[in-house]
Chain A
Amino acid sequence: AQSVSQHNHHVILSEAASLELGCNYSYGGTVNLFWYVQYPGQHLQLLLKYFSGDPLVKGIKGFEAEFIKSKFSFNLRKPSVQWSDTAEYFCAVSSMDSNYQLIWGAGTKLIIKP
């Protein structure tokens, strides 16, 4: 069965620090990759997605992610975080193997210290 692993459950950074959240998946075939964000008290929102093409994907609010097929990874990055980036971040993967149902990582809680 497919699985998605997010390396860090909690990350604490200061404002202006650079961010990288890890995401690895187990499926070897063609995948669709997603990062979602859940701000405190708000619903899950799509941050960015990769279906095909340029492996460097840009999303909303200055976030980007790079798909590295050889490493089965889709890490999320932001060069300079803000206090408002405090949220929980979820990586998800879908494929033909999962009948295109999303397989979710456990989430990473990000806290930005002002």
Chain B
Amino acid sequence: KAGVTQTPRYLIKTRGQQVTLSCSPISGHRSVSWYQQTPGQGLQFLFEYFSETQRNKGNFPGRFSGRQFSNSRSEMNVSTLELGDSALYLCASSPRVAGQETQYFGPGTRLLVL
């Protein structure tokens, strides 16, 4: 099976702009989780989508939003970008079936906000 894919891989934006990141999960996986990874904060959970519904949410401001489509692909949107949003954004997919909660990660999108 193909792994988790994320596009774009690299992105440069300026403060105040908005950005949309995309994630395609492993075929058959219905859950997609998003994380922010920074050197100082480690891995911070943003949200999880399962069957087009947000299932879990981390402690991020409303500028961070997401959605999931019927084919399980997911997008994450960050509006009104701030310098502190510069990070590696990781997507992980999972079957999310009892006993099969393992998450598999994509390569990430590295976002730089200037």
Contacts and interface: CB of A to CB of B under 8 A. Distances in A.
Interface stretch (A21-29, A67-75, A95-103): A95-103
Contacts of A99: 55-56
A32 B101 CA distance: 9
Given A43-B90, A44-B90, A106-B42, A101 B105 contact: no
A101 B45 contact: yes
Interface string B74-114: 00000000000000001010001001011111111000000
B101 A100 contact: yes
Contacts of B72: none
Interface residues of A, number: 20
A102 B45 contact: yes
Contact of B104 (A32, A46, A107): A46
B107 A43 contact: yes
A99 B48 CA distance: 11
A101 B102 contact: no
A101 B106 CA distance: 17
B43 interface: yes
16 contacts: A43-B90, A43-B106, A43-B107, A44-B92, A44-B105, A45-B105, A46-B104, A101-B45, A101-B48, A102-B45, A104-B42, A104-B43, A104-B45, A106-B42, A107-B42, A107-B43
Given A46-B104, A99-B55, A107-B42, 14 more contacts: A32-B101, A34-B102, A42-B107, A43-B108, A44-B92, A44-B105, A49-B102, A90-B42, A94-B101, A101-B48, A102-B33, A102-B103, A104-B42, A107-B43
